[in-house]
């Protein structure tokens, strides 16, 4: 159902060297902040894509419902950091939908995947596919800054990071 997106990272030698010099706790804290900033790049692009197809005459805005959420289940089960990017309020099509502000927008899936009578106008997939380089560079830059700050703080205190 969902298409896979594959990519490889190269040129991370300086970041990997710094990772060896800090503790797990600081690694996770800086990694979570960097991952959030990188995820926000995808969120902003998805919102821009959604604004193209949103109906301005209703209060139902797909762009307003696109969100970035911490994936606590992944962290508890595996210890890996992760965020989920998606459209809030689920995908249940109700008979009497709320049409006010911040209303659920389950119809986003119809645009994303299409139907037999309507071609797909993807919102989420191109947001990630077209910004992998920007997301990767944002993550690496922010994570490296966080690790530099952690190492400097530890050096001021006279201990190890």
| List of residues 6+ apart from 87 with CB closer than 8 A | 62, 65, 66, 67, 105, 108, 124
From first to last of the 161 residues of the chain, give the pLDDT tens digit: 456 666 666 666 766 666 666 666 666 788 899 999 999 999 999 999 999 988 777 767 888 889 999 999 988 998 888 899 988 876 666 666 666 666 778 788 888 888 999 998 998 989 989 999 999 999 999 988 988 888 888 778 776 65
pTM equals 0.77
Apex 3 CA angle, 132 and 39, nearest 5: 35
CB atoms within 10 A of CB 125: 16
Per domain, the residue ranges of the chain are 23-155
């Amino acid at each position: 159902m969902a298409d896979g997106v594959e990519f490889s990272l190269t040129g991370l030698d300086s970041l990997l060297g710094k990772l060896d010099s800090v503790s797990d706790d600081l690694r996770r804290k800086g990694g979570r902040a960097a991952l959030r900033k990188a995820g926000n790049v995808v969120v902003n692009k998805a919102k821009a894509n959604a604004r193209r197809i949103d109906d301005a005459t209703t209060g139902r805005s797909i762009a307003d419902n696109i969100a970035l959420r911490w994936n606590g289940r992944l962290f508890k089960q595996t210890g890996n950091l992760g965020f989920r990017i998606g459209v809030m309020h689920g995908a249940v099509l109700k008979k009497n939908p709320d049409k006010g502000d911040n209303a659920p927008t389950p119809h986003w899936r119809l645009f994303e995947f299409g139907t037999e009578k309507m071609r797909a106008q993807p919102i989420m997939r191109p947001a990630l596919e077209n910004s992998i380089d920007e997301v990767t560079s944002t993550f690496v830059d922010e994570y490296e800054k966080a690790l530099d700050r952690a190492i400097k703080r530890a050096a001021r205190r006279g201990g190890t990071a």
